[in-house]
Structure 1
Amino acid sequence: MSKLVGRDVARVDGRAKVTGAATYAADHQITGTLFGFLVLGTITRGELTDLDTAEAKAMPGVVAVYTHADMPRFDVSEGFYLKGFVPMQDTTIHHNGQPIAMVVAATFEQAREAADRVRATYRTEPHVLSVTAARDDAYLPPPMFGEPNEVTRGDAAAALASAPVRLDRSYTAPTHHHNPIEPHATTAVWDGDDRLTLFESSQAVVTFRDTLAGAFGLAAGNVRVIAPYLGGGFGTKGVVWPHTLITAAAARLAGRPVKTVLTRAQMFTGTGHRTEFQQRIRLGAGRDGRLTAIVHDTIAQLTATDENMFNSSIATHTLYACPNVHVRQLGVRLDMPTGAWMRSPDMSAQFALETSLDELSYQIGLDPLDLRLRNYARTDQNTGDRFTGKHLDDCYRMGAEKFGWRRRERRPGVTRDGDEYVGWGMATETHTYGNFPASAGVTLGVDGAARVAVASQDIGTGTYTVISQVAADAMDLPLARVTTVLGDTILPPAGSSSISSTMPSVIPSVDKAARDVRAAVIKITVADRRSPLHGVPADRVTTSDGRLADSADPSRSDTYRDVLRRHGKPVEVIATVENTPGHTYGAVFVEARVHRRYGNVRVTRVVGAYDVGRVLNRRTLRSQVIGGVTWGIGYALMEHTLVDQASGRIVNPNLSTYLVPVNADAPPRIDALFVDEPDPGSAGLGAKGFGETPITGVAVAIGNAIFHATGRRLRDVPFTQDKLL
């Protein structure tokens, strides 16, 4: 029986983080390092006609000021560079905040001060910055990574026209920014002209290696990317952005290491965002609430240089049983920075879908939970195949029971507590998790301790801990005897820590490599004449806490350490096991309170129940729920990026005006429940990818709770006080 997997195990990297021993990208100290600081353009569209760098070059400590005239021409056709153009390659300006120069100086402060002395002159052109202004030019972009932007099942138009009950609603959301606490940082070190090492804040070290190798025309083996720790990523650090390319080029030109740490404001224009969207949902249903048609149209921001549609509408055509569905994601080209995946991309479409279902439930007089149960999908709606492991109905039951949902007063606007209206709302949560090919190396040393090595990343989700648990269980070692090494491209290759894919991608290979090491040591032991287990059949040897024993005669035993000391060398195995992508599910129930005079909203109680497959670590899973709930509060009540339509400038590029939730905004109680039923379709010990799932329905549940509290339906996030006064 498992000793560690599934338990509430503390993070193995926790002490390093709280004591400051963990080394983040900007912490690496390289002798002779210079500091880079980007100069950003101040117009939205046009051309750079002159760039005066003389005053900047004369500033103390300045080594160089690099412009488009100095930069090499990067080949970003391979790898993972999604911006559509590389800044500082020519004089064209595509958006406000585009890098136009880099100052390199002896200190960060000198570089930043000198950057203020670079003078730019422009020729401006007309620009378009909002979805509303460009919606007449909306078009269907091509598929992105094979995912189509239009999905049709049945005849949704005909079914909608004939439906006894119809609902037609529109929902909108502004631009959002990732804002990880650790800013993007790159330190580039060249060895000669053809070997590059990057200390990078990256949630995809292998992807960065391959992209940088292509950009500079190097062999992949000549580029090393190191990222042992990240202070958050949320998707923004899974994509190579211009500052990384420019820093690497500057280090090559200067002949010395160069470190660039973006400011918070620079991150708002340089490292992606969740794009603005407008959505229209039309539902058709019988009077019993069974869905007969779903038509879901989205218009989202693209840019003049790329056609990437980052906000998925997969939930609309997969989550509920409905024979007639038409999903269409249109884009409009704006003169804005390129977007990116932002944890969780699915939540944009689910905001519209789940809110419209709540509206439908009131229209037909059916409890919102019962409406979802009535449209429960037991098979894949696109293929007809049965799910290998889906327990969303258990999530509904567990969550509702814990929350007390069935005691809910159905009429909105009637429950008060003092000066506050009290409302209860719920929503379904789901997220598609991915799978990236991953290899894992496990080495059992002559000291009897194990080392697990994977070129994956821990972006704060507990990857170090869960990998260590799995390896320790597979080899029957104490957790303290296992060390996991991540975030370095010299390790066995793995994919990006994104799409909730890390655990399902990496765990199968870790488990197999560790089990193969155990089997190899048993084979060595029974063949060793000096071992008390010599000659014992291998299948009769048991292991526990690093000790091997004969199951028929436990007095005959040996230890990993003694076996390998006699063997004289470590045992090492590298394994690669493919898994398959899938879906994770949940249900979230929220209590919200709205002050009857001031309109401010408090989220006071949250219960989430989740189908995650097999639970690997209860503590790290609960941590993801706490993070997801907090993120959902931000999405619902405060987060929004403001763009000046005249200049294209972001006017709140900092954490004092781009508001994110803090401890005081979190509810005093968050209950996280898990079904803990292994999914037979997952090769990762039955576990499924989970990290982004507990975000997807929280904002919806808050909005639904606000309606239940006040009788006022809000369809545009964030739900700020002015909309409730």
Structure 2
Amino acid sequence: MDEAYVPEPGLKGPNDITRGDPGAGLAQADVRIDVSYTTPMHHHNALEPSATTAVWDDGKLTVYETAQGINATKATLAEALEVPPADVRVISRFLGGGFGAKGPVWPHTLITAAIARELGRPVKLVLSRAHTYTSHGHRPETHQRLRIGAKRDGTLTAIEHVTTSQVSRTEDLLFNTSEPTRMLYACPNLRVTQRAVQLDLPAPSMMRSPEVVASHGLETALDELSYELGMDPIELRLRNYTADNPDADGAPFGSKHLKECYRRGADAFGWNKRDPRPRSMRDGDTLIGWGMATAAHTAGGRPGAGARVVISAEGKATVQVATHDIGTGTYTVMSQVAAQSLGLDLAHVRFELGDSNYPFAFVSAASATVPGVGAAVNRACTAARRTLIDITVADPRSPLHGIPADRVTVEDGTLYDTDRRARRDTVRAVVARHGEPVEATTEPVFIPPGYSTGACFAEVRIDPGLGQVRVTRMHGFFDAGRVFNRRTLRSQGIGGAVWAVGFTLSEHTLVDRRLGRIVNPNLSGYLVPVNADIPEVHMGFVDKPDPANPDSLGARGFGETPMTGMTAAIGNAVYHATGRRIRDLPITQDKIIEAAEDQ
């Protein structure tokens, strides 16, 4: 810690930000807390390890890669191997999980391609599970200190939040970003500092929900503050609610329905039945705890995507984007967007992805796929529909000939006059008479910044003698903008809840401090949650379009949001059950037993 330093500005701008006068704000406070939290190194553990197959043909390279960033992979391969980008193709149509490690290019990809060129024959490399702990990044070990001041009525007067992260000797990019502290609540005096400590360990990298580290610290500290104030944790957050973005000079968010999330989430969970006194809720000898926290995650603010659509003489459409389905439902959701924008039946739309020969898309990361790729698909399909209508009304053979184009709409593969619905034509007939497919291609457009929020609630049951913690209920209610597909969105919420259980209660990469080696590079020693650890997870959504994202039909990125609140909700529930605050994650059995012995 004595070697910590503030790195140069990185992915999210400066690493030391001050608003107002934090020192004066703390002096004005009636109540102050000064707390520290630590989190260990975490690893991704996707079901499918990273794998590469490289094939050279006449100086051109094709790589089949477990990638969530095929265009980044293509660009890096071209530069490293000194090959024109046009001579590199990356294909990744299906992916067995991607949580950040498969976004950037790591040495195993470059080595495989280089060896294949040297040998003159295809080469395949699949990382073992142990290799994945050293070969493609991790979430770094962190230390956080928060000093928060508030008036007796709960109004925040100051926040100081210093996060220190492990980095390698050669890279000091910080991925555990601090937007929750900077953006979520109204606080006039703020200082957020992100520091690095260089260690002889592999480089950290992107890992799903990078804001969870800062969010866990902030939301746990606010829970501690609520007890100091004798105030309900939801009420404390409501008293510091802001509809404007403090990190953007007070500009309003596109939309923010967080208050509704608090209300509806609390109602669904039954929060009003909670006895606020620690150790007050029991079932025999079992301690019961309820905790809550706010979830918040930035989405957008990234390069967008392009898209290509072709409508055939059979009245069917093929849509292509160089994006990925990392398990989030991209195939399904983008097919839905295309069908709606084109006015075709879903069965007549084919969405193709995972090929760098398709129009560009940003890495599948930062919750950017739905707002970025969805907007691109909508733009391309809307353009193709306009072209289709123009062809129809200009065709003397069509029943819609001569009708103003703005009076023609398309539904279920049929074009009709909105004034006289009996006058109609079919997409199939129009394209067949036209004699060639109808096509449209759009270029990438920058994704506007978005902010998805929500309220998370958790119940735990603890055996104080064994130190065993069971999460028995998890509820989340979220504002993700417009919901395209409730099933895939709920699935993303469940995934975030599962990650939260692991983050809070079990996941911990162990390092031999003498040798710098990871000693549990396997799923028998690195404990991820399994089905038996997870109760039924309840997810609800406001489902109101964000007007700041008209291209993406009002949707925002969401997938990484739930974890940012659920980890603190679980930790806060453990405190409510036991009356002991465990500030060092994971909250393991030995720590619960030690806390019980202290009482």
After TM superposition, is the score higher than 0.5? Answer: yes
Task: Specify the code of the residue in structure 2 equivalent to 1:636.
Answer: T
| 8 Å Cα contact 2:500-2:567 kept in structure 1 | yes
- 1:685 is aligned to 553
Q: Secondary structure at the match of 1:689?
A: coil
- Equivalence map 1:449-488=2 (5 Å): 449-488=316-355
- 2:380 is aligned to 513
Q: Secondary structure at the match of 1:137?
A: coil
Q: Deviation of residue 292 (structure 1)?
A: 0.3
Q: Secondary structure at the match of 1:179?
A: coil
Task: Give the whole-Å Cα distance in 2 for the aligned partners of 1:220 and 1:584.
Answer: 36
Task: Specify the code of the residue in structure 2 equivalent to 1:630.
Answer: V
- 2:454 is aligned to 586
- 1:546 is aligned to 413
| 8 Å Cα contact 1:174-1:277 kept in structure 2 | yes
| Deviation by residue 1:496-521 (Cα, 9 ceiling, x = unmatched) | 00000011111112111111111111
- 1:702 is aligned to 570
Task: Specify the code of the residue in structure 1 equivalent to 2:460.
Answer: A
- 2:255 is aligned to 389
1:626 counterpart (491, 494, 516): 494
- Equivalence map 1:124-139=2 (5 Å): 135-139=1-5
Which structure 2 residue ranges, 5 or more long, are not aligned?
Answer: 594-599
Task: Specify the code of the residue in structure 2 equivalent to 1:465.
Answer: T
Task: Give the whole-Å Cα distance in 1 for the aligned partners of 2:584 and 2:28.
Answer: 29
Task: Give the whole-Å Cα distance in 2 for the aligned partners of 1:519 and 1:558.
Answer: 15
Task: Work out whether 1:409 is the aligned partner of 2:275.
Answer: yes
| 8 Å Cα contact 2:501-2:567 kept in structure 1 | yes
| 8 Å Cα contact 2:253-2:451 kept in structure 1 | no
Task: Give the whole-Å Cα distance in 2 for the aligned partners of 1:196 and 1:234.
Answer: 26
| Deviation by residue 1:409-467 (Cα, 9 ceiling, x = unmatched) | 01010111123111100000001112322101111111100011000111110111111
Q: Deviation of residue 599 (structure 1)?
A: 1.4
1:638 counterpart (506, 511, 521): 506
Q: Secondary structure at the match of 2:164?
A: strand
Task: Give the whole-Å Cα distance in 2 for the aligned partners of 1:555 and 1:358.
Answer: 62
- 2:240 is aligned to 375
- 1:38 is aligned to none
Task: Give the whole-Å Cα distance in 2 for the aligned partners of 1:208 and 1:494.
Answer: 12
Task: Give the whole-Å Cα distance in 1 for the aligned partners of 2:498 and 2:583.
Answer: 20
- 1:247 is aligned to 112
Task: Give the whole-Å Cα distance in 1 for the aligned partners of 2:12 and 2:269.
Answer: 40
- 1:425 is aligned to 291
1:665 counterpart (519, 528, 533): 533
More deviation in 206-215 or 152-161?
152-161
- 1:655 is aligned to 523
| Deviation by residue 1:682-713 (Cα, 9 ceiling, x = unmatched) | 13111111010011111111110011111111
Task: Give the whole-Å Cα distance in 1 for the aligned partners of 2:193 and 2:422.
Answer: 68
Task: Work out whether 1:207 is the aligned partner of 2:78.
Answer: no
Task: Work out whether 1:257 is the aligned partner of 2:151.
Answer: no
Task: Specify the code of the residue in structure 1 equivalent to 2:104.
Answer: V
- 2:199 is aligned to 334
- 1:85 is aligned to none
Q: Deviation of residue 543 (structure 1)?
A: 1.8
Task: Specify the code of the residue in structure 2 equivalent to 1:449.
Answer: K
- 1:446 is aligned to 313
1:189 counterpart (55, 65, 80): 55
Task: Give the whole-Å Cα distance in 1 for the aligned partners of 2:409 and 2:227.
Answer: 60
| 8 Å Cα contact 1:641-1:652 kept in structure 2 | yes
Task: Give the whole-Å Cα distance in 1 for the aligned partners of 2:154 and 2:42.
Answer: 34
- Equivalence map 1:208-247=2 (5 Å): 208-247=73-112
**TM-score, scaled to structure 1:** 0.80
Q: Deviation of residue 525 (structure 1)?
A: 1.3
- 1:25 is aligned to none
- Please say which structure displays the higher CA radius of gyration: 1
Task: Give the whole-Å Cα distance in 1 for the aligned partners of 2:120 and 2:529.
Answer: 43
Task: Work out whether 1:500 is the aligned partner of 2:360.
Answer: no
Task: Work out whether 1:172 is the aligned partner of 2:172.
Answer: no
| 8 Å Cα contact 2:390-2:405 kept in structure 1 | yes
Q: Deviation of residue 555 (structure 1)?
A: 2.8
Q: Secondary structure at the match of 1:534?
A: coil
Task: Specify the code of the residue in structure 1 equivalent to 2:274.
Answer: R
Task: Give the whole-Å Cα distance in 2 for the aligned partners of 1:351 and 1:414.
Answer: 24
1:609 counterpart (477, 481, 503): 477
Q: Secondary structure at the match of 1:456?
A: coil
Task: Give the whole-Å Cα distance in 1 for the aligned partners of 2:11 and 2:272.
Answer: 43
Task: Work out whether 1:600 is the aligned partner of 2:464.
Answer: no
| 8 Å Cα contact 1:297-1:329 kept in structure 2 | yes
Task: Work out whether 1:348 is the aligned partner of 2:216.
Answer: no
Task: Give the whole-Å Cα distance in 1 for the aligned partners of 2:177 and 2:408.
Answer: 50
| 8 Å Cα contact 2:323-2:353 kept in structure 1 | yes
Q: Secondary structure at the match of 1:699?
A: helix
Which structure 1 residue ranges, 5 or more long, are not aligned?
Answer: 1-134
Task: Give the whole-Å Cα distance in 1 for the aligned partners of 2:517 and 2:141.
Answer: 15
Task: Give the whole-Å Cα distance in 2 for the aligned partners of 1:172 and 1:162.
Answer: 28
Task: Specify the code of the residue in structure 2 equivalent to 1:397.
Answer: R
| Deviation by residue 1:200-243 (Cα, 9 ceiling, x = unmatched) | 00001111111111111121111100001111111111110000
| 8 Å Cα contact 2:253-2:450 kept in structure 1 | no
**TM-score, scaled to structure 2:** 0.97
Give the total of aligned pairs: 589
Q: Secondary structure at the match of 2:96?
A: coil
| Deviation by residue 1:277-310 (Cα, 9 ceiling, x = unmatched) | 0111000111111110100111110111111111
Task: Give the whole-Å Cα distance in 2 for the aligned partners of 1:532 and 1:689.
Answer: 42
Task: Give the whole-Å Cα distance in 1 for the aligned partners of 2:394 and 2:78.
Answer: 46
Task: Give the whole-Å Cα distance in 2 for the aligned partners of 1:329 and 1:421.
Answer: 37
Task: Work out whether 1:712 is the aligned partner of 2:580.
Answer: yes
- 1:561 is aligned to 428
Task: Give the whole-Å Cα distance in 2 for the aligned partners of 1:540 and 1:481.
Answer: 24
Task: Specify the code of the residue in structure 2 equivalent to 1:167.
Answer: I
Task: Specify the code of the residue in structure 2 equivalent to 1:686.
Answer: G
Q: Deviation of residue 364 (structure 1)?
A: 1.0
| 8 Å Cα contact 2:12-2:177 kept in structure 1 | no
Task: Give the whole-Å Cα distance in 2 for the aligned partners of 1:686 and 1:578.
Answer: 15
Task: Give the whole-Å Cα distance in 1 for the aligned partners of 2:409 and 2:162.
Answer: 59
What is the aligned-residue identity percentage?
56
More deviation in 281-290 or 139-148?
139-148
Q: Secondary structure at the match of 2:56?
A: strand
Superposed CA RMSD in Å reads: 1.1
| 8 Å Cα contact 2:310-2:318 kept in structure 1 | yes
Task: Specify the code of the residue in structure 2 equivalent to 1:288.
Answer: D
| Deviation by residue 1:619-668 (Cα, 9 ceiling, x = unmatched) | 1110001100001000011000001112211110011110101111111x
1:698–1:287: structure 2 CA closer, same or farther, 3 Å change rule? Answer: same
Task: Specify the code of the residue in structure 2 equivalent to 1:385.
Answer: A
Task: Work out whether 1:275 is the aligned partner of 2:275.
Answer: no
- 2:16 is aligned to 150
| 8 Å Cα contact 1:508-1:578 kept in structure 2 | no
Task: Specify the code of the residue in structure 2 equivalent to 1:595.
Answer: D
Task: Give the whole-Å Cα distance in 1 for the aligned partners of 2:244 and 2:396.
Answer: 57
Task: Give the whole-Å Cα distance in 1 for the aligned partners of 2:501 and 2:209.
Answer: 14
More deviation in 481-490 or 385-394?
385-394
Q: Deviation of residue 146 (structure 1)?
A: 5.1
Task: Give the whole-Å Cα distance in 2 for the aligned partners of 1:696 and 1:438.
Answer: 26
2:150 counterpart (285, 306, 331): 285
Q: Deviation of residue 540 (structure 1)?
A: 2.2
